[in-house]
Amino acid sequence: MAHKNLWWQDGAVYQIYPRSFFDSNGDGNGDLRGIEQKIDYIKNLGVDAIWCCPCFKSPQVDNGYDVADYRDIDPIYGTLEDWKSLVKAAHERGLKFIMDLVVNHTSDQHEWFKNARSSRENPYHDYYIFRDAGDGKEPCNWRAVFGGSVWEYNEATDEYYLHLFSKEQPDLNWNNENVVREIHDVVRYWCRLGVDGFRLDTFNNIDKDLTFPHVEPLPGSKYGRGTRYCVNRPGVDLAIRRLRKDVLDEYGATTVAEVSCVEKEVAKRYSDPACGEFDAIYFFDGLNFDQEPENKFMPKPRDLAAFKKALNEQQQDLFGCGWQALFIDNHDQARGVSRFGDDKRYPAESAKALANAMYFLRGTPYIFQGDEIGMTNLLFDQIEDFRDVEVRNAYREHVVEQGEDEQKWLGLFRERSRDNGRSPMQWDSGMNAGFSEGTPWMPVNKNYAAINVERQEGTPGSVLEFYKKLLAVRKQYPVVFEGRTEFIDMEDPVIFAYKRVLEGEVLLSVGNFSGEKASFILPDGLDIGKGRIILSDTVTCLSGKMILEPYECFTAVFR
């Protein structure tokens, strides 16, 4: 059956964290030339596009999510010429290129902010959100994402400025028309240079309630969550519609909005083509069912039913009206294999089971570098090994300032920190996993001799070959793109199974998410005679009652 989706619906995206992908010049940092050298590796996976995390000029406080110049490349990544060469190489291979656009805030080293903070009269002052500090009190008690207050004192003007993330990431004032114009110019600049789309970083934060209401403090803290006053406000819809009309549509550039705290109606509005906003949403709330809402480092017990429920809600909410990104993890998450699988006894099986479970759902796969070889969490045991500003701040707050147990916090960071997803890509079993000839900017995972690309490439049964097969097979069945999603036995604590249903075609994806054998009963209405396994390294035939080995998985099509 013919279907007529757009490339970003039919395709799969490969997410690159440039600092940790491949270092071409031995300075310990991955770079753009490094990505270009690996371009055929990316192409051969069977993906259709690359999303590259920010590579703009930046002091790297938050690894590039603090932009100091939107029109230039950071020297650690190379030059604008390198960028052009990379995009050309991608395009020559039919790969689209998506940039990461961070416009809720800039770096405090951006010229706009340096000007803005210098005096109240400076023309750039109103590019950011300042409040008078006359009475010595912070304007409100919201907690910043990376800890502490969202307000930072600025001596030169005797004011506070707003930063929802770290204090080196001041928030832009989207109510200022000059800011809107500047950002539109930036987007136009990259469109003219040939980008195919943008991932819009935390875009649903750009509009804030400027009365800054006081909120209920979190237990044991002065600060509380200001979320409802700074997410999904009407200015977000207006801003993206304008950006589309004024710039994006002219170039046919696609957008994927990285958003959190998105309820059904908002998710629909953001991604329903009829609303003219984003092309897709990348919502990460779905993965957060295993952590305490008020403290991301506090794990809740693993709960497969909760995972299924979260994904099912997204699938149902957007069916027929919106579009979503599918992902197992990213540079802000611990590795999926460690978080949802068994990285000790069944690392490869877990990696496959996760991919099998996630990437036959309705949406666009966003495969994070290293997932395709089953990379796992790091085992850092001292604070010095961690690089992430979020961990460093949490350590200061809890261990240094509040005197809490250091070992407890190191244990939590080990499980949950974003650094887990950011360690260098494991290319081979040579020095530094083949990532760099210098000293890597952060330690390589110690398991690189066992888990690396070289070992898996062309090796039957490897995670890498499984991913390639998966990506190839997805494209052959319209049901993958258009079918309705029906989860099977949502409450089952170990089996992750769903059907995708389209007239004349049913896809069945099944995986055992446990370290024990588990049985799966083929649901009524599926005719074994018409079924065919389209993906599995181990399951060869269908039967009414199937016994699955630990983390064993398969996908079948009935037509």
Using CA atoms, how far residue 180 sits from 242, 468, 478, in Å, is 9, 41, 40
At its nearest, how many Å lie between ligand TEU and the CB of residue 201?
A: 5
Per-residue mark of binding to ligand TEU, 496-535 (x: CB under 6 A): ----------------------------------------
Among 31, 74, 196, 390, binds ligand TEU (CB under 6 A): 390
397 binds ligand TEU (CB under 6 A): no
Q: How far is residue 380's CA from residue 415's CA, in Å, rounded to a whole number? A: 10
278 binds ligand TEU (CB under 6 A): no
User: Quick one: 25 or 260, whose CB is closer to ligand TEU?
Assistant: 260
At its nearest, how many Å lie between ligand TEU and the CB of residue 160?
A: 20
Pairing verdict, β 505-512 and 49-52: unpaired
User: Quick one: 45 or 172, whose CB is closer to ligand TEU?
Assistant: 172
At its nearest, how many Å lie between ligand TEU and the CB of residue 260?
A: 5
* Structure tokens given for 371: 């997932």
User: Quick one: 102 or 556, whose CB is closer to ligand TEU?
Assistant: 102
* Structure tokens given for 182: 């500047």
Phi, psi of 200 (to 5 degrees): -95, 105
The residues in 330-359 that bind ligand TEU, with binding defined as CB under 6 A, are 331-332
At its nearest, how many Å lie between ligand TEU and the CB of residue 30?
A: 16
Phi-psi region of 464 (alpha: psi -120 to 50; beta: other; left: phi over 0): alpha
Among 35, 102, 230, 508, binds ligand TEU (CB under 6 A): 102
CA nearest to 207, candidates 171, 261, 182? 171
Q: What angle do CA 388, 391, 395 make, to 5 degrees?
A: 140
Among 82, 152, 196, 201, binds ligand TEU (CB under 6 A): 201
CA nearest to 333, candidates 395, 404, 422, 205? 422
Sign of CA dihedral 308, 313, 319, 322: negative
Among 67, 68, 145, 325, binds ligand TEU (CB under 6 A): 145
291 binds ligand TEU (CB under 6 A): no
CA nearest to 165, candidates 388, 317, 494, 406? 388
At its nearest, how many Å lie between ligand TEU and the CB of residue 202?
A: 4
Residues 6 or more apart whose CB falls under 8 angstroms from that of 422 comprise: 17, 19, 20, 63, 331, 387, 388, 442
Phi, psi of 20 (to 5 degrees): -120, 15
288 binds ligand TEU (CB under 6 A): no
- Residues serving a catalytic function are 201, 258
User: Quick one: 102 or 206, whose CB is closer to ligand TEU?
Assistant: 102
At its nearest, how many Å lie between ligand TEU and the CB of residue 259?
A: 9
Name the residue with tokens 């200061």: 396
Bridge partners for 521 per DSSP: 545
Phi, psi of 298 (to 5 degrees): -90, 105
Cβ-contact 447, 377 below 8 angstroms:
no
At its nearest, how many Å lie between ligand TEU and the CB of residue 179?
A: 17
Q: How far is residue 326's CA from residue 470's CA, in Å, rounded to a whole number? A: 14
Helices 264-271 and 234-243 pack at an angle, to 10 degrees, of: 10
User: Quick one: 323 or 366, whose CB is closer to ligand TEU?
Assistant: 366
165 binds ligand TEU (CB under 6 A): yes
User: Quick one: 140 or 262, whose CB is closer to ligand TEU?
Assistant: 262
At its nearest, how many Å lie between ligand TEU and the CB of residue 413?
A: 11
The residues in 222-261 that bind ligand TEU, with binding defined as CB under 6 A, are 258, 260
User: Quick one: 215 or 261, whose CB is closer to ligand TEU?
Assistant: 261
202 binds ligand TEU (CB under 6 A): yes
| Count of positions (residues) in the chain | 559
User: Quick one: 201 or 343, whose CB is closer to ligand TEU?
Assistant: 201
At its nearest, how many Å lie between ligand TEU and the CB of residue 166?
A: 8
Size of the site for ligand TEU (CB under 6 A): 14
Per-residue mark of binding to ligand TEU, 55-94 (x: CB under 6 A): -------x--x-----------------------------
Task: Give long-range contacts, CB 8 A cutoff, 24+ apart: 382-386.
Answer: 382/410, 383/410, 383/413, 385/419, 385/442, 385/443, 386/413, 386/417, 386/419
Q: Give SS3 for 324.
A: strand
117 binds ligand TEU (CB under 6 A): no
Q: How far is residue 99's CA from residue 92's CA, in Å, rounded to a whole number? A: 18
Q: What angle do CA 427, 387, 259 make, to 5 degrees?
A: 90
User: Quick one: 331 or 500, whose CB is closer to ligand TEU?
Assistant: 331
User: Quick one: 352 or 418, whose CB is closer to ligand TEU?
Assistant: 418
Q: What angle do CA 296, 278, 81 make, to 5 degrees?
A: 85
Per-residue mark of binding to ligand TEU, 421-460 (x: CB under 6 A): ----------------------------------------
Per-residue mark of binding to ligand TEU, 297-336 (x: CB under 6 A): ----------------------------------xx----
At its nearest, how many Å lie between ligand TEU and the CB of residue 65?
A: 3
Q: Give SS3 for 179.
A: helix
Binding footprint of ligand TEU on the chain (CB under 6 A): 62, 65, 102, 145, 165, 201-202, 258, 260, 296, 331-332, 390, 418
